[in-house]
Structure 1
Amino acid sequence: MNTPSQLLPPPPRPLLLLILDGFGERKERENNAVHLAHTPNLDSLFARYPSTLLGASGPDVGLPTGQIGNSEVGHLTIGAGRVMHTDICRIDQAITNGSFANSPVLQNLLHQAHNVHRELHIFGLVSDGKVHSALEHLFFLIERAASQAVAVVVHAFLDGRDVPPKSALKYIQALENKLEGKGRIGSISGRYYAMDRDHRWQRIHQAYQAIVHGQGMRFPTAIQGIKASYDTGKTDEFVEPFVVGTYQGVQAEGIGFHFNFRPDRARQLTEALAIQPFNRFPRTPLEHPPFPHYACMTTYDASFGLPIVFPKENPTDIFPEVIARHGLQQLRCAETEKYAHVTYFFNGGREKHFEREERILIPSPTGISTYDQQPAMSAPLIADAVIHAIESDRYDFILANFANPDMVGHTGILQAAIAAVESVDQAIGSIVNAAQAKNGAVIITSDHGNCELMLDAETGQPHTAHTLNPVPFLYIPIPTSHPLPPFRTGGKLCDIAPTLLTILGIEQPPIMTGLSLFVSS
């Protein structure tokens, strides 16, 4: 029997992997930006070249059944070539088997709070979206603190992005019920402020002021504050930070725990609350962080040196590591919003470059509050950078991410999402032409769905979250008359790396358990 590598033409140079972030497959056209957009380039490519669909959610990417995929897990899985043991599942299992309760990090934090009669401040996203956090994890922490006679103050960040835009009231009501006799809510902030990841420190500062100093708008209850925000037209994500009840801020030597398991949107606030030195904005007192006793659910930034309950697990023999060992020159290119995904996450949670790995960061647009105002984002600049890289003849492998189908999809504005998809189509057309002119090959895929569903039929609200839909996988080979083997069905994101290695003629490591998408004859 011939192996797929024996049936393929010689390895292309370069081989491109283009990830259209948040670009899922859904048959229905209604409220589907992917199908409603004018995409002559993608339409032509899908008509001419082999394609298949890949699972990008739930167990296919190491998440619980029915859990939407996300960019972090998607890029991690694509790079690793196997289904990873995700943080949410590690934490769920640790709660079940008791190891979370017995964690030395958590025990030490609660011991400190109990001994000095201080409250434990808990920070994180309060929703059941399970992309950045899980309600079950928060409720476990509240119960665990209560068992040690430690009262808690929850600083709740509202979602409205991985869940419906106006769904916060049910989550906050459930939180208040859980807190009865165990603690209180100190502040509320939309994730736009408390979970910024793009160095817009003025947003973090607004959340910081409410958390640390008890400054800002004040409402008798969290529910009243959220309703007042709704009255001004703000949805959950954009609720301005406010203080709840009689909360006056943190005492000296604050004790805190951030329960988000996804690091990218927990990093900046953690830096402001717990890291010294700090120069992003004036902090009072300047010589000390407000929370010298602070722990993180997962590794937000290895340089922080903070206690971590679930340190990251770095997979070995991942795709970028394998091709580096074989002497291949590789390039990563993305705009700010997805730069960490094509570098840190694709590299298995490593900050450092592999040998012969280069990176290009294209700035995301600034001066706008939401990306529906500029739906192309930086797609044209990414295309220019990738084309320049192709024409340089320098690289064997190029990975690029187009953020705008996902980021504009999160706004819930259909026409803007359509414009985002159309801008990506133009970029794809130019890149494919450049690659074929250099005898290169291109793979087009995605990490999860989003913009193919822009309206929630049940609620009538804009659909701003990711989806459970599969994602496309399209292979545009080098120009040749060489017939290609067909793709199999039932593939997953973890099968992309083995397929890339097949195309490159490189043996797949045994630990890489994904399977090539090419059918053997």
Structure 2
Amino acid sequence: MAKKALLMILDGWGIGPHDRSNAIYSTPTPYWDHLLATYPHSQLMACGEDVGLPDGQMGNSEVGHLNIGGGRIVYQDLVKINKSIADGSILKNPEVVSAFSYAQRTGKGIHFMGLTSDGGVHSSLEHLFALCDIAHEYGLKDVFIHCFMDGRDTDPESGKGFVAQVEEHCAATTGVVATVTGRYYAMDRDKRWERIKLAYDQLVDGVGRQSDNMVRAIQESYDEGVTDEFIKPIVNSTVDGRIKEGDVVIFFNYRNDRAKELTIVLTQQDMPEQGMHTIADLQYYCMTPYDASFTGVHILFPKENVQNTLAEYLSACGKKQLHIAETEKYAHVTFFFNGGREEPFEGEDRILVPSPKVATYDLKPEMSAFEVRDKLVAAIGEEKYDYIVVNYANGDMVGHTGVYEAIQKAVVAIDECVRDTVEAARSHGYEVIIIADHGNADHAINEDGTPNTAHSLNPVPCIYVTENRDATVRDGRLADVAPSILQIMDLPQPAEMTGNRLIER
């Protein structure tokens, strides 16, 4: 019999070992324990080839939601770009040819900027190395690299080693590390323009701590208690690596959300009140499309939109749906969940709850979860939606801080919100599937006892809240979730969805 369905995505809530490294296991979660004891549940793979990433690559929110909403394995930009480098087709990519030929012809500087780590969420070191190789083949000399330090998807003091690797590669090819700054400034995504301005002033005007040894300067930052994510701008005093009028810039991040704001101030919009102005005649190349509204920028690897996603299919079936999350994960339950589409489908409502304005989420571990819960419970009570998807952000966003006690507080808040959401859904005739998009809070401490701020490679839970006591749920992958939602709603599975149905009744 057809039911209404609610999909709850607990961001960063993986299945980890039963020890203190797992902040979820180490925190009292009475309602979560009740769910596991009462309802059928299984495990889903959320990383590597199961989600269209290279083998062994940790999953992330963008990839997770694309797979969940797509009902199929969605092969990621990382895999496509890797393939083009491996088979040499990147050398024939018309935008690559255009960028490097222009620099060769005009003698203008060429700048490679992006997240410099092996975290694999926003960028790849291999892509940066490939750009250096191509610059070397073109005989370019004025090649400047602007390293944004990670410390969220990698350990907080791993950046020094990544910059050393870049310098080693440059020595064998071409290029110089011109600037270093933390992603907290260069990759903000919450319109905190005062952060972006620090990166802008460094890139355009050379403002920052001057040093003739970038690796040593990073170590000095560590010694002062400032780790990768928060490193203040460091400028190489031995070169003039400023971005100038008519230069070429390649932003090698392939994930769009944290690449938008810096791109806006360099190419799209003057912000005189912030002292930021676009740069004339900049030849600006984005690795992938960052925003459909951007004009005058080149795209090295255009997106292929995913057709007939869960949201699109439910709309075509005349169903009413609601997508709800707080700011930090709103793009994930809308744009990414819908296969890279910004506009809602017919019959699709959206609720955005603002994330709290704090410097880091360990300062408010509950984030806006209770506000999301309240709006969600009210929407459930309206009984107008056939399908609802909600994302609770805390396990991931607080997990990224590495502050163990804060992660535990986040887990307690989520347990409460899950309880209230599930009980409201049950009382209004919904069946519920609870999953995660990837792990994080389940791996909060490294083997050496240091905080782990990155995602985990652990599988994620899949709990099926149903009154059918005979139901079971198979193990699977994220691509199997959408077909299972359709199964609950008694709708046929479209051909484009190649995932499997997980529920056995």
**Would you say same fold, with TM above 0.5?**
yes
Give the total of aligned pairs: 501
CA–CA distance in 1 between the matches of 2:390 and 2:404? 24
Q: 2:328 aligns with which of 326, 337, 347?
A: 337
1:412 to 402, 406, 414: 402
Q: Which amino acid aligns with 2:356?
A: P
Q: How far does residue 280 in structure 1 lie from its aligned partner after superposition? A: 7.7
Task: Name 2:134's counterpart in structure 1.
Answer: 144
Q: Which residue of 2 aligns with 1:434?
A: 424
- Name the structure 2 match of 1:518: 503
User: Which of the residues 344, 348, 357 maps onto 1:357?
Assistant: 348
Asked if 1:270 is matched to 2:263, the reply is: yes
Q: CA deviation at 1:216?
A: 2.0
Query: What SS does structure 2 have at the residue aligned with 1:376?
Result: coil
**CA contact under 8 A between 1:250 and 1:290: conserved in structure 2?**
no
- Whether 1:297 aligns to 2:283 is no
- In the TM superposition, 1:234-383 aligns within 5 A as 234-248=226-240, 249-275=242-268, 277-279=269-271, 281-283=273-275, 286=277, 288-289=278-279, 292-305=282-295, 306-366=297-357, 368-383=358-373
- Report the counterpart of residue 80 of structure 1 in structure 2: 70
Q: Structure 2 CA distance, aligned partners of 1:29 and 1:381? A: 31
Equivalent pair of 2:21/2:446 in contact (CA under 8 Å): no
| Deviation at residue 246 of structure 1 after TM alignment | 3.3
* Match status 1:214 vs 2:199: no
CA contact (8 A) 1:205 1:281 kept: no
CA displacement at 1:400 relative to structure 2: 0.7
Alignment of 1:476-495 (within 5 A): 476-477=465-466, 480=467, 482-489=468-475, 491-495=476-480
Deviation, structure 1 residue 32: 1.0
What is the CA deviation profile of residues 314-359 of structure 1, one whole-angstrom value per residue up to 9, with x for unaligned ones?
1111111111111111111111111100000000001111111111
Provide the secondary structure at the position in 2 that maps to 1:25: coil
CA pair 80-365 structure 1, distance change in 2 beyond 3 A? same
Aligned counterpart in structure 2 of residue 475 of structure 1, from 453, 464, 469: 464
Q: What is the letter of the counterpart of residue 320 of structure 2?
A: Q
Deviations 1:453-478 (A, max 9, x none): 11110x4421110011000001112x
Q: Give the secondary-structure state (helix, strand or coil) at the position aligned to 1:310.
A: coil
**CA positional deviation for 1:279:** 3.0
Aligned partner of residue 36 in structure 1, secondary structure: coil
Segments of structure 1 that go 5 or more residues without pairing to the other structure are 1-9
Unpaired segments of 5 or more residues in structure 2?
Answer: none
Mean CA deviation greater in 250-259 or 319-328: 250-259
**Pairwise CA distance, 1:224:** 2.1
Contact 1:499 1:515 in 2 (8 A): yes
Does the 8 Å CA contact 2:9/2:435 hold for their aligned counterparts?
A: yes
Q: Residue 187 of structure 2 contacts residue 261 of structure 2 at CA under 8 Å; is this kept in 1?
A: yes
Give the partner amino acid of 2:488: I
RMSD over aligned CA atoms reads 1.4
Deviation at 1:290, TM superposition (A): 5.3
- Label 1:194 to 1:372 Cα distance change in 2 as closer, same or farther (>3 A): same
Aligned mates of 2:135, 2:35 — CA distance in 1: 56
Identify the match of residue 494 of structure 2 among 491, 509, 512: 509
In structure 2, the partner of 1:7 is none
Which whole-Å deviations, capped at 9, do the CAs of 1:476-508 have from their partners, x for residues lacking one?
A: 12xx4x44431123x000000000000000100
Matched, 1:190 2:182: yes
Q: Which residue of 1 aligns with 2:154?
A: 163
Q: Distance in 2 between matches of 1:333 and 1:118?
A: 46
- SS of the aligned residue for 1:341 comes to helix
In structure 1, C-alpha distance between the alignment counterparts of 2:360 and 2:21, rounded to whole Å: 20
Q: CA deviation at 1:252?
A: 2.0
How much has 1:250 moved relative to structure 2? 2.2
1:499 to 474, 479, 484: 484
Whether 1:391 aligns to 2:381 is: yes
Structure 2 partner of 1:50: 40
Residue equivalent to 1:6: none
Match of 1:461 in 2: 450
Deviates more, 1:66-75 or 1:102-111: 102-111
Work out which of the residue numbers 84, 94, 97 in structure 2 matches 1:104: 94
Q: Distance in 2 between matches of 1:280 and 1:325?
A: 45
Residue 281 of structure 1: CA displacement?
5.0
Residue type of the alignment partner of 2:370? P
Q: TM-score, normalised by structure 1?
A: 0.94
- Residue of structure 2 aligned with 1:127, choices 117, 120, 123: 117
Residue number in structure 2 paired with 1:4: none
Distance in 2 between residues matched to 1:58 and 1:78, nearest whole Å:
15
Q: CA offset at residue 170 of structure 1?
A: 1.1
Which segment drifts farther, 55-64 or 35-44? 35-44
Task: Give the TM-score normalised by the residue count of structure 2.
Answer: 0.97
Contact 2:245–2:279 under 8 Å retained in 1: no
1:212 maps to a residue whose letter is: V
One-letter amino acid of the structure 2 residue matched with residue 486 of structure 1: T
Aligned to 1:445: 435
Q: Give the Cα separation in 2 of the matches to 1:469 and 1:290.
A: 47
- 1:223 match: 215
* Aligned-partner Cα distance in 2 for 1:45–1:250: 55
Whole-angstrom CA distance in 2 between matches of 1:108 and 1:328: 46
